[in-house]
Amino acid sequence: MPTCQKCHTEWTWKDSQKVIFQFKKGLICPYCGETQYQTSDSQKRTSLVGMAPLLMLPVVILTDSWFLTISLILLASITHLSVIPFLMKLSNNQELMW
């Protein structure tokens, strides 16, 4: 789970979800209110997981079922969002991804 680098409080899975859904450039710590950023390694990891649904593309093309397509996209999105907090590492400074 991500740990704030200012107040050293470990965010819960629920805290992380709330922070992610703020859709801001920085992540505001729910405990001290300081802005945190994902480390570049963390950004790479979460992006890679985000691309995982693309692996299902051949299945979707082969089966040609809109129900299966929507189910797979939903399942992949839910899985992605659930897993992100476990991969996130925080930093006090904004780091470039590459």
Contact residues toward Zn ion (CB under 5 A) are 4, 6-7, 29, 31-32
**Nearest CA-CA partner of 42 in 2, 13, 12, 70:** 2
* Of 6 and 80, CB closest to Zn ion: 6
* Of 30 and 53, CB closest to Zn ion: 30
* Of 29 and 88, CB closest to Zn ion: 29
CA distance 91 to 44: 14
What is the nearest approach in angstroms of Zn ion to the Cβ of residue 87?
A: 19
33: left (phi over 0), alpha (psi -120 to 50) or beta: left
- CB under 8 Å to 15, separation ≥6 — which residues? 30
* Of 47 and 92, CB closest to Zn ion: 92
What is the nearest approach in angstroms of Zn ion to the Cβ of residue 8?
A: 7
Give the end-to-end CA distance of the chain in Å, rounded to a whole number.
Answer: 23
What is the nearest approach in angstroms of Zn ion to the Cβ of residue 29?
A: 3
What is the nearest approach in angstroms of Zn ion to the Cβ of residue 26?
A: 12
